[in-house]
Amino acid sequence: MSYPPWPKGKKLVHLDLKGAPPRVEYLHRLIELFSELGVDGLLVEYEDVFPYDGELKLLQATAQPAYSRDEVLSMQEFARSKGMEVIPLVQTFGHMEFVLKHRSMWHLREVAHCVGTLNPHREEGVKVVMEMLRQVVELHPGLSTLHIGADEVYMLGEGEESKLWLASPGRTVEQLFLSHVTKVARAVKEAWPHMTIIMWDDMMRGMSLDTLKASGLVGLVQPMLWDYTPNLDVSKTVSLLEKYCSAGMADLWAASSFKGSTSVYTCVTSTQRHLDNHLQWLKVAASLSPAVNMKGIAITGWQRYDHLSVLCELIPVAIPSLAVCLQTLLHGQFSAEAQSKVTGKLGISSVEVETMEMTCVADTVFPGRRLAELIVELNALLNSEDIRFFENSMFVRGWFSPYQRQRKTVTPLITMQIHNQASLFLATLQQKVEAVREEMAKLYPDSTVQEWIEEHVSPVTAPLQRITEDVAACLKEMVP
């Protein structure tokens, strides 16, 4: 079914750099591709790879080096040369794990065991937020739009100071949220009067029309409503956007997803899932009243669900998905023409990365193409039943159980067969892993390579390695 193309407004691609930050050279190649695919701007979430300085230098990542000031500037300059705007996203309330994990910042948490949420009652917390914003804005010359986050403010109202504040008659957690966000937004406007401020909408979804009208945010912020699901509820989403509009916030944004929203540990992107998400967003856009002014859509590509979670899919395996999502927005459907443009541009035969075959030898049309191929191949191997469930095979369970290993009462003939099979699997995996390691190191820092392998490969190879070692130990007791 066809819908009107995405209405006028910007199409942003979200770069989530809190995990697997691309090497600068690869980042530039990605930006060039994004431009060719029709992207208007970048929504850049730096977190700890931003070169914070002075009292905030402790926020810089230690696992991998932060981008330098020159690299941040060159990224913006290159994006601008391709006609793309850069909008920084700086969390200012929830998802502040990369700040509040540091011991010197512990006292600024809403509750001790929730690392992500800032205590809204401490002026010191607001000062930290404003200093973060100041340094980011200063390193983005000519910046006109800023995203202040404010999604998923978990445990708000549970801190002791919040409980005291809420004890006064008529006060609510909603008001507590709004008071902090309004304070930050007003401080931004005071410091940079020209600045357009975007924020995530989820904490406002349950608020009444009257609460929103009296929030102090009308005319101050532009909400960005996010929904990454393939079965997005169109009528509910339309109602929410209309409610924000009726409250006086007519300038609104959508946020979809091209990767990083399937599961917290997904390794390979499903294009169909993200295509479905964008088809639902097209239905939403077609159902809105003329009063709603959609400023654009941010196509998010989460690299972690939060600062302390594991890596989601790396960008190379999600490029076909991104291209499909963009073409779907441009055409109002994923038509044969749209598919032809994607496969032709990327040099692939299928838009699903797991089944794509390259129709072009050159890597220039698909930066990271070889890594995507290798990850798909290795992922298939890691998830093959023979390897993943080797410990549950008939021979291991029947002739090399934990009971038998502990007592070293094994049948050498069958045990040697088990050893040979486990060793063969390990050698096959190791060959693939080394190819992935070599290719990934060209595009990502060594810390990302190490983390990816430890997260995806080690849980599969460790049991195989243990079996080979245990077999060797048992055979010493059984074979002369």
Active-site residue flag, 152: yes
Based on the domain organization, do 381 and 319 belong to the same domain?
no
> 402 to each of 11, 197, 418, 466, 478, how far by Cα in Å?
56, 60, 14, 11, 16
Number of domains in the chain: 2
| Cross-strand partners of 11 | 297
Banded pLDDT at 353 (limits 50, 70, 90): confident
> Which domain does 83 fall in, by range?
10-365
DSSP-assigned letters across all residues of 288-337 = S-TT-EEEEEEEEE-S-SSTTSPP---GGGGHHHHHHHHHHHHHSS--HH
In a domain, 2, yes or no: no
Residue 438, domain member (yes or no):
yes
DSSP state of 208: -
Is residue 7 over pLDDT 50?
A: yes
Residue 220 lies in a domain: yes
Last residue of a domain, one of 314, 344, 365: 365
Among 302, 330, 365, residue at a domain's last position: 365
Residue 309 resides in a domain: yes
307 and 408 belong to one structural domain: no
Answer yes or no: do 309 and 284 share one domain: yes
Average pLDDT over residues 36-52: 97
Report the pLDDT averaged over residues 81-103.
98
> What's the CATH number where 350 sits?
3.20.20.80
Examine the domain organization and report whether 265 and 120 are in the same domain: yes
Confidence of residue 364 (pLDDT cuts 50, 70, 90): very low
Residue 363 has pLDDT above 50, yes or no: no
| Per-residue pLDDT reduced to its tens digit, 320-352 | 999 999 999 999 999 999 999 999 999 898 899
Q: Is the Cβ–Cβ distance between 225 and 237 less than 8 Å?
A: yes
The residues facing 222 across adjacent strands are 198
Q: What is the C-alpha to C-alpha distance for residues 229 and 221, in angstroms, rounded to an integer?
A: 25
Same domain as 237, residue 178: yes
For residue 457, give Cα distances in angstroms to 289, 391, 435, 437, 471: 50, 16, 13, 11, 22
Is 237 inside a domain boundary? yes
| Residue 361 shares a structural domain with residue 379 | no
State yes or no: pLDDT of 459 exceeds 90: yes
Same domain as 445, residue 360: no
**Mind listing the pLDDT tens digit for each residue in 120-172?**
999 999 999 999 999 999 999 999 999 999 999 999 999 999 999 999 999 99
- Under DSSP, is residue 254 helix (H, G, I), strand (E, B) or coil? strand
Q: Which member of 32, 71, 131, 152 is catalytic?
A: 152
Range from 301-305, 397-401, 476-480 carrying the lowest mean pLDDT? 476-480
- Return the minimum-mean-pLDDT range out of 2-6, 132-136, 299-303: 2-6
Identify whether residues 342 and 435 lie together within a single domain. no
pLDDT of 360 over the 60 cut:
no
My answer on whether 298 and 386 are in the same domain is no
**What pLDDT, on a 0 to 100 scale, did the predictor assign at position 438?**
98
pLDDT of residue 478: 76
Average per-residue pLDDT for the chain = 95
pLDDT of residue 118: 98
pLDDT at residue 33 tops 50: yes
- Does residue 325 share a domain with residue 260? yes
Asked if the structure places residue 1 within a domain, the reply is no
Domain edge (last residue) among 338, 365, 392 = 365
- Tokens representing 231 are 């079965």
274 and 133 housed in the same domain: yes
333 and 382 together in one domain? no
The band of 358, judged by pLDDT with boundaries at 50, 70 and 90, is low
Q: Which residues contact 42 (CB under 8 A, 6 or more apart)?
A: 12, 13, 14, 15, 31, 34, 79, 84, 85, 86, 87
Please determine, for residue 315, whether its predicted confidence score (pLDDT) is greater than 50: yes
Give the mean pLDDT of 91-97. 98
Flag whether 272 is in a domain. yes
As a whole number of angstroms, the distance between CA 317 and CA 366 comes to 10
Q: Determine the average pLDDT of the residues in 391-405.
A: 90
Whether residue 139 is contained in a domain is answered as yes
Taking only the tens place, the pLDDT of each residue in 200-233 is 999 999 999 999 999 999 999 999 999 999 999 9
How does pLDDT run across 426-457, given as a tens digit for each residue? 999 999 999 999 999 999 999 999 999 999 99
- pLDDT for 409 equals 87
